[in-house]
A = this chain, B = another copy of it.
Amino acid sequence: MSDLRVHNFSISLDGFATGAGQAANAPFGHAGERLHEWMFATRFWHEMVGGQGGSGGADHAFAVLHGPGISAEIMGAGKFGPPGWQDDPDYKGAWGPNPPFHTPVFVLTHRPRPSIEMAGGTTYHFLDASPTEALKVAREAAGDLDVRLGGGASVIRDFLTEGLVDHMHVVQVPILLGRGVRLWDGLESLEDAYHIEAVSTPSGVTHLTFTAKSR
């Protein structure tokens, strides 16, 4: 069976994956872009946005794993758009006309709508479903390939709680946000189910990888 994988999911030292005050012009609230600067500096990111250059070290090596072997993504409503997007029937997501997914994307929302086909291979589908149900649908769409779990934090928590995540890459950034949405709440003893590795890199971040013992 294919894996469910989390990649490049960045949190602060105090565990926040997004700050407070999320809005259309502030998708990570008061965190701004600080949780993702490590990624913007990599060759992975430079190439994704059509440029050149960028660092080719450990941060890059982790970052590139985001793409290969993935053929569907599941994301929460908060990653698709800012609070209230469900009220706009023509809204097409926060990721532009050519979103960086290039696969089917399953958006979890209690107010589903018809699918939207975007340029570059991304099609948004909208599901009001439990984690187990959503994963079943996404796995069928992915065929033999893996499914990416795109976040946000509360969605990842829900899937971890159900024991559905096979591989998780979390990047801890040395800042303290103080408020926002925490990744780790309610996950006592998660280490029982995962092999965990920690690797700090010269940029100052620490990459944490969780590999399910059941795999």
Contacts and interface: CB of A to CB of B under 8 A. Distances in A.
Contacts of A187: 14, 176, 178
A189 B206 CA distance: 18
A13 B184 contact: yes
Interface stretch (A77-85, A120-128, A192-200): A192-200
Contacts of A197: 204
Q: Chain A binding site: helix, strand, loop or mixed by DSSP?
A: loop
A149 interface: no
A77 B172 CA distance: 32
A65 to B, nearest CB: 18
A113 to B, nearest CB: 36
A10 to B, nearest CB: 14
B205 A198 contact: yes
A131 to B, nearest CB: 19
A112 B200 CA distance: 43
Contacts of A190: 176
Given A198-B174, A199-B200, A200-B199, A13 B188 contact: no
